[in-house]
Amino acid sequence: MTNTQVSLVQIDNYGPWTVTPEPRREADLQTMQSRLYADISQFVGNRGGYVFFTRFDNMIAVTNGLTLEDHELLQESVGNRYPVTLSLGVATGTSPVQALSDATTLVQNAGSAQDDSRRECLEGRTVDEPHRTDDDVQIAHFDVIDATGQYTDELNAFDSFIHIEQGYAELMRHMRHAHDSLSFFVGGDNVIVVCPDLEAADYEEAIRHVEDAVDVELQVGVGRGSNAHDAGFDAKHALETCRADGTRVELEW
């Protein structure tokens, strides 16, 4: 049974900071946001987790394997190296959406995202080491079938992008409402979804739904593990099986 540990990473007071005393150069904001995300990806990723850039001022991570001390160290390190600080909420549960919701509430209770005095809050709880199992995390890695042949080498780059965005927008809503799952576009034509205990039929149905709704053809590899990296790496291998065998859904167990 899944027991997903989800952390919400929120930059403190970011909206006001970006325009105080004057609006800042957009290219510099993009650079800083991306490098901050990249650093968090290394920190979380090196401990077996995944973090998704999401909205950049709010990032969602699957942090099974990271302790609260780890979260505190991440906060401290960012505070030493960036002109902004982070607040973090951590929660766990069978349902990824519920865990994310609980994590969000922890941060919201500490104060508004634009509350000048709310800085570096850290609240929540992690999955205790003795309670961790190989089923805690289920990751599904979707991609568009032959995106290069269908889109990238054929359409203009923005129309390719529109197709992939429409596919992502449809999948993200469906997986959240039908399956309590959190879906993230990760570049190229790839979407990684954090799921509870779903089965092949659920993935087949999701793929059909997206194809019917927006005419984007997806395939998916699914993996499980005690942390996001293990589950996700299995999912990547399962996806390679889809590519090799021409199948639409492959579960790595």
Q: What residues from 220 to 239 belong to the interface with a second copy (CB under 8 A)?
A: 229, 232-233, 236-237
**Looking at beta carbons only, is 36 or 207 nearer to a second copy?**
36
| Region binding a second copy by CB under 8 A among candidate stretches 124-132, 166-174, 200-208, 245-253 | 166-174
Q: Of residues 20, 72, 73, 215, which one binds a second copy by CB under 8 A?
A: 73
Helices (H), 147-222: 147, 157-179, 200-214
**Coil, strand or helix at 58:** strand
- Footprint of a second copy on 9-38 (CB under 8 A): 10, 14-15, 19, 23-35, 37-38
CB 110 to a second copy: min, Å: 11
**DSSP one-letter code for 144:** E
Place of tokens 């065998």: 245
In angstroms, the CA 69 to CA 175 distance is 32
Residue from 55, 61, 60 nearest 29 by CA: 55
CB 8 to a second copy: min, Å: 5
Binding mask 122-151 toward a second copy (x if CB under 8 A, else -) reads --------------------------x---
**Looking at beta carbons only, is 1 or 157 nearer to a second copy?**
157
Number of residues near a second copy (by CB under 8 A): 86
**Looking at beta carbons only, is 13 or 201 nearer to a second copy?**
13
List CB contacts of 188: < 8 A, sequence separation 6 or more: 143, 147
**DSSP one-letter code for 206:** H
Binding mask 84-103 toward a second copy (x if CB under 8 A, else -) reads -------------x--xx-x
Helices (H), 94-135: 96-110
CB contact at 8 A, 43 and 86: no
- Footprint of a second copy on 189-208 (CB under 8 A): 189, 192
**DSSP one-letter code for 5:** E
**Looking at beta carbons only, is 34 or 247 nearer to a second copy?**
34
In angstroms, the CA 158 to CA 249 distance is 28
**Looking at beta carbons only, is 68 or 233 nearer to a second copy?**
233
CB contact at 8 A, 239 and 226: no
Q: Of residues 5, 8, 93, 122, which one binds a second copy by CB under 8 A?
A: 8
**Coil, strand or helix at 153:** coil
Binding mask 35-64 toward a second copy (x if CB under 8 A, else -) reads x-xxx-xxxxxx--xxx-xxxxxx-x----
Residue from 185, 96, 78, 29 nearest 104 by CA: 96
CB 170 to a second copy: min, Å: 9
**Looking at beta carbons only, is 201 or 251 nearer to a second copy?**
251
CB contact at 8 A, 223 and 235: yes
Q: Of residues 132, 133, 135, 186, which one binds a second copy by CB under 8 A?
A: 186
